[in-house]
């Protein structure tokens, strides 16, 4: 299916095909644009079409193809689709790929920065990966990636937010006012197991062995499976949940976030993200005396270096040991 429109005294034509995706090109004459569209559609229908990217193929076409073919294979595809759809509204998306230079990228970066360095970084990472995929897997021959030559914005350092004294009790009390009755079990289980939100929501009764005190995660953020040891409190939490579905917590990520925001608002707790519960859990494990390899086994961190930021949790215990040695 072809669409035609006049823009800046040139005729832009776009051809969409379920198999080959979207292609576009600009012409000075309407007749040339129509002729090109008919030729491309005929080649696509016969199965003889192959992509030859020219300087007039738009950045928009690249990102649409990436969204439709690459993003659905990712675990966080729904969130990334939302990000790409927002990105497609940017004026820079209308640029021909041949004009998307490092200077243009830097200009887009600087224009986007007021919306936040993290959001800007997400957009740049998506664009960089899409360009690389097009070069390596789609044979688009785009040339050097212009995003490799620019500086990405500096993002805020990793969060180290923990529960303050009394906040656990405030959250528990506020949870009685939340309509989703399993919100508190999710919160408490997050603190007991150090699981990520997605891992908690993926739990199924069939993957829980209460007798052996272990939960089996088929797929984690790292792309691997792992077994999570369950504390006695975690077992009590799970034992108290009514089985209404194959999933222990049959709720979506967005809905859980909505209830979590409600919980924080009712309890009047600020600047606390759900992921901070994982930091709280890991910090508690160190405070209990677990070693770095043991904590890595529980939390699923692939390398010990990723746990060094939690060293602060061990500071008091280390100082106590030094004091004992001095005595």
Tell me the pLDDT tens digit for each residue of 22-79. Answer: 777 778 888 988 888 888 888 778 776 655 555 568 899 999 999 999 999 887 788 8
Q: Where among 109, 132, 156 does a domain terminate?
A: 156
The residue from 112, 196, 259, 279 that is catalytic is 196
CB 280 within 8 A of CB 163: yes
Structure tokens at 42: 């005929």
**What does the radius of gyration of the chain's CA atoms come to, in whole angstroms?**
26
Residue 318: the pLDDT is 52
Residue 275 sits in the same domain as residue 172: yes
240 pLDDT more than 60: yes
Domain that holds residue 18: 1-50
Q: In this structure, are 141 and 252 located in the same domain?
A: no
- 239 and 112 co-located in one domain: no
Average pLDDT over residues 263-274: 92
From 149, 218, 219, 275, active-site residue = 275
Which of 25, 65, 279, 310 is labelled catalytic?
A: 310
Q: Which two tokens stand for residue 131?
A: 């360009």
Residue 264, pLDDT > 80, answer: yes
User: Per-residue pLDDT for 325 more than 70?
Assistant: no
278 catalytic? Reply is: yes
Task: Judge if 265 and 286 occupy the same domain.
Answer: yes
Report how far residue 83's alpha carbon sits from residue 105's, in angstroms, rounded to the nearest whole number: 17
Q: Indicate the length of the chain as a whole number.
A: 327
Q: How many CB atoms lie within 10 A of CB 195?
A: 27
Phi, psi of 238 (to 5 degrees): -65, -40
User: Quick check: helix, strand or coil at residue 5?
Assistant: strand
Same domain, 303 and 173: yes
Q: CA angle, corner 226, sides to 225 and 231, nearest 5?
A: 150
Handedness of CA 200, 202, 205, 211 (dihedral sign): negative
85 and 224 in a single domain? The answer is no
* pTM (two decimals): 0.56
- Given CA atoms 87, 91, 97, 101 in this order, what sign does their dihedral have? negative
DSSP bridge partners of 26: 12
| Residue 257 domain-assigned (yes or no) | yes
196 belongs to the catalytic site: yes
Band of pLDDT at residue 98, cut at 50, 70 and 90: confident
Number of independent structural domains in the chain: 3
Question: Has residue 89 got a pLDDT over 70?
Answer: yes
């Amino acid at each position: 299916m072809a669409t035609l429109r006049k823009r800046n005294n040139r005729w832009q034509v776009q051809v969409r095909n379920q198999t080959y995706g979207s292609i576009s090109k600009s012409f000075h004459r309407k007749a040339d644009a129509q002729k090109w569209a008919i030729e491309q559609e005929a080649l696509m229908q016969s199965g003889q079409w192959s992509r030859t990217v020219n300087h007039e193929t738009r950045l928009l076409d690249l990102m649409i193809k990436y969204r439709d073919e690459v993003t659905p294979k990712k675990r966080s595809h729904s969130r990334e689709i939302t990000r790409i759809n927002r990105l497609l509204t940017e004026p820079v998306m209308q640029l021909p790929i041949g004009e998307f230079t490092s200077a243009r990228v830097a200009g887009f970066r600087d224009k986007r920065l007021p919306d936040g360095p993290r959001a800007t970084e997400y957009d740049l990472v998506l664009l960089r990966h899409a360009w690389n995929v097009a070069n390596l897997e789609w044979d688009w021959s785009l040339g050097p990636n212009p995003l490799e030559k620019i500086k990405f914005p500096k993002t805020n350092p990793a969060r180290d937010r923990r529960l303050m004294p009394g906040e656990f009790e405030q959250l528990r009390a506020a949870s009685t006012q939340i309509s989703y009755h399993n919100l508190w079990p999710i919160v408490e289980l997050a603190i007991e197991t150090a699981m990520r939100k997605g891992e908690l929501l993926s739990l199924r009764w069939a993957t829980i062995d209460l007798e052996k005190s272990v939960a089996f995660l088929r797929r984690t953020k790292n792309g691997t499976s792992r077994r999570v040891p369950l504390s006695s409190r975690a077992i009590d939490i799970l034992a108290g949940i009514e089985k209404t579905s194959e999933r222990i917590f049959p709720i979506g990520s967005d809905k859980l976030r909505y209830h979590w925001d409600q919980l924080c608002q009712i309890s009047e707790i600020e600047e606390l993200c759900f992921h901070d519960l994982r930091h709280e859990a890991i910090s508690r494990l160190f405070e209990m005396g677990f070693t770095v390899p043991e904590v890595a086994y529980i939390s699923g961190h692939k390398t010990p270096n990723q746990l060094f930021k939690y060293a602060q949790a061990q500071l008091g215990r280390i100082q106590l040991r030094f004091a004992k040695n001095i005595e």
